[in-house]
Amino acid sequence: MKTILILFAHPALQKSRINKVLIEGLTKIEGVTFRDLYQTYPELDIDVGIEQQLLIDHDIIVFHHPFFWYSTPPILKEWQDLVLEHGWAYGSQGVALQDKLFFNVMTTGGRQEAYRSGGHNNFSIRQLLAPIEQTINLCKMHFIAPFVIHGTHSIQPDQVSTHRQAYHQILQMLRDEKVDLDRLRSLEYLNDLLAD
């Protein structure tokens, strides 16, 4: 069984309609560690040693966040800057994270068709995640397709519940190694895993 670390970042969770529902019950899934970074570090004073040990102790790393200005909320950038140290996470001696899986779980107000060449946002989600993907590559990890919920401004409560179930099911499939790495790499969205 693989272990999963979810690094959750939402600076205004009290206003969230979608992410509040998505994270319900995550702590009850065997093998999953859920870590709310804004709750853990309200002053942004990230404890590098603790965070690095959590990374060592888990096989799959997840950044779960709203997609703000085509990126992550600020605490996840701060986390990357501090925790992913040269000689530990990357560089010739930096092999602590080698071969771990990584993916994003994201919510965005824009519809899926807005994220493509010629669409409102001009680029696909995968293209916009290129800096994170390259960071993961530099750390010798495996970047896989993101799990994305589009159209959060108009989504209905029953749809949110369906997305929550799909997210939790995918976590369990990854934990139990029910899908191979080549398949995970071939997907545009991790959501598509359940369409097979």
118: region left, alpha or beta (phi > 0 left; psi from -120 to 50 alpha): left
Residue 196 pLDDT > 80: no
Q: How far apart are CA 132 and CA 170, in angstroms?
A: 21
Name the average pLDDT for the chain.
95
| 62 sits in which H/E element | strand 60-66
pLDDT band at 132 (very low <50, low <70, confident <90, very high): very high
Q: How far apart are CA 186 and CA 176, in angstroms?
A: 19
pLDDT band at 33 (very low <50, low <70, confident <90, very high): very high
CATH no. for 4-195: 3.40.50.360
The pLDDT tens digits for 155-167 are 998 999 999 999 9
3-state secondary structure (DSSP) of residue 11 = coil
Residues 6+ apart with CB under 8 A from 49: none
Residues 6+ apart with CB under 8 A from 113: 119
- The string over 130-163, giving b where at least 16 C-beta atoms fall within 10 Å of a residue's C-beta and e elsewhere, is eebbebbeebebbbbbbbbbbbbeebeeeebeeb
The domain locations on the chain are 4-195
